Amino acid sequence: MFDTLTDSFTAAIKKIRFHDDDKALTKALDELKKSLLKADVNHKVVKELIAEVQIETKKNGIGKDQFLDALRAALYKLLEIGGNKGFTFVPNPPTVILMTGLQGSGKTTTTGKLANYLKNKQKKVLIVAADLQRLAAVEQLRQITTQIGVELYENEATKNPVEVVAAALKKANDGIYDVVLIDTAGRLAIDDELMNELEAVKKAANPSEIFYVADSMTGQDAVKTATSFKEKIGIDGVILSKYDGDSKGGVALGLASQVLVPLRFIGSGEKMEDLEVFLPDRIVNRLMGFGDIEGLAEKTAGAIDEKQAKRLTKKIQKGQFNFNDFLEQMESMKKMGSMKSLMGMIPGMGNMSKALKDFDMENSSELKNIKSMVSSMTLKERENPDLLNNSRKGRIAKGCGLEIVEINRMIKQFKNAGKMAKRFSGKNGMKDLQSMMG
């Protein structure tokens, strides 16, 4: 997700050849400055960061380690303005969050993503449909909440968001919800009507925090609108959406210091899983190419259900792993997001070869073929791959539009994978693996 920025930092770091002299430091700083400006980090932010790194490096004696330490400290200082926060819960639930933003910024989608993030943390969430301006917003929330399995409060009988919010909170105040997320109306641009409505909704909701969703594809405009919202209704955090479409990525680096409000989350795709918590201490590690193991654990924990994992292990041990399990596995892999977004979280993988980083689980043609082959099987065939004789294979090939040799190859591959999995999940698994590797 922070590929471009990470690349900038690691490239600058790599080029440093310190021989304990001032010239080397100047060169390294020049390199860093150039790449940060290229990544669209605000020039004032760059200037301050460079000055800070220079002073700190000199203080401790010029060398690569001193430079890296100074850079790490300066980055952290820059990002943690307003705190190292993520999502914060109030002591007496529910935590009420007002989701604000301009129309099209991704506010409604982000509300769903945030609910999904909290649900994965075992929190009970209520989403309130209080965007009654954009016609499709309520329907969009219906679809999202059904998809992620979160409750929605809506009231079609009124066009008054204040009424909706008041009634929703009455329902939520019995304490069964941990978090209430209120999706508010947006406009194409900031105007008085919008601010008046938000002010009234804010009064009715008495929110724990107000989040502003900013479209990162608008570059420095995202900073400007966030600042306006902060001045007009007060915001406690920013969520940058559409970070996947922002090839430069520098806005994320300067935002907290420019708006003086912390960046809390980053949205990086259209799917519900495409949201990452923005915690400065973790992000600094990633930017410097050290990965983010904690973030990785969080993402995979949300995607893989422990019970499901145990059930599958048992099936594999008994040699009963079938095509249905296979599809299920593929689905949970998909839930984890693209390989690309996970790769940067693994230490040392931050600047891996582009080819591997770009591997796209969902669009891989091999995986697509396997999926369409399985879809053409009957339920019995999926459960029992041994049923697949030549006439059945022929029917499946026709059904999914693939050649029979392809079908044979994929079935063989699947059976081999099953055998291997069985072998290594057994009691002597590790021994077998070791002996095989010599």
Q: Which of helix, strand or coil describes residue 215? A: strand
Assess 267 for contact with ligand GDP (CB under 6 A): yes
- Please give the full DSSP string across 27-90, using - where no structure is assigned: HHHHHHHHHHHHTT--HHHHHHHHHHHHHHHHHT-SSHHHHHHHHHHHHHHHHTTT-S-SS---
Choose the binding region for ligand GDP from 104-112, 222-230, 290-298, 410-418 (rule: CB under 6 A): 104-112
For residues 215, 218, 223, 226, the Cα torsion angle rounded to the nearest 10 degrees is: -40
Dist CA 77 CA 287 (whole Å): 14
Please name the residue that has the structure tokens 């304990």.
20
Name which position in 63, 83, 104, 385 contacts ligand GDP (CB under 6 A): 104
Which tokens go with 339? 């390989």
Name which position in 51, 59, 206, 245 contacts ligand GDP (CB under 6 A): 245
Name which position in 35, 54, 109, 285 contacts ligand GDP (CB under 6 A): 109
Assess 103 for contact with ligand GDP (CB under 6 A): yes
Check the CA dihedral 196-114-256-337 and report its sign.
Answer: negative
Per CB under 6 A, which of residues 8..67 are in contact with ligand GDP?
none
- Please, which residue, 255 or 370, has the CB nearer to ligand GDP? 255
| Per-residue x/- track, 123-142, ligand GDP (CB under 6 A) | -----------x--------
Check the CA dihedral 283-285-290-293 and report its sign.
Answer: negative
Name which position in 95, 227, 241, 322 contacts ligand GDP (CB under 6 A): 241
Dist CA 312 CA 42 (whole Å): 50
Assess 282 for contact with ligand GDP (CB under 6 A): no
Assess 350 for contact with ligand GDP (CB under 6 A): no
Dist CA 34 CA 40 (whole Å): 10
Assess 385 for contact with ligand GDP (CB under 6 A): no
| Per-residue x/- track, 160-199, ligand GDP (CB under 6 A) | --------------------------x-------------
Name which position in 82, 161, 237, 269 contacts ligand GDP (CB under 6 A): 269
- How many positions of this chain bind ligand GDP (CB under 6 A)? 19
- Of residues 255, 289, 235, the one with CA closest to residue 78: 255
Choose the binding region for ligand GDP from 50-58, 90-98, 100-108, 203-211 (rule: CB under 6 A): 100-108
Dist CA 319 CA 137 (whole Å): 48
Given the rule CB under 6 A, which residues bind ligand GDP?
A: 101, 103-109, 134, 186, 241-242, 244-245, 267-270, 274
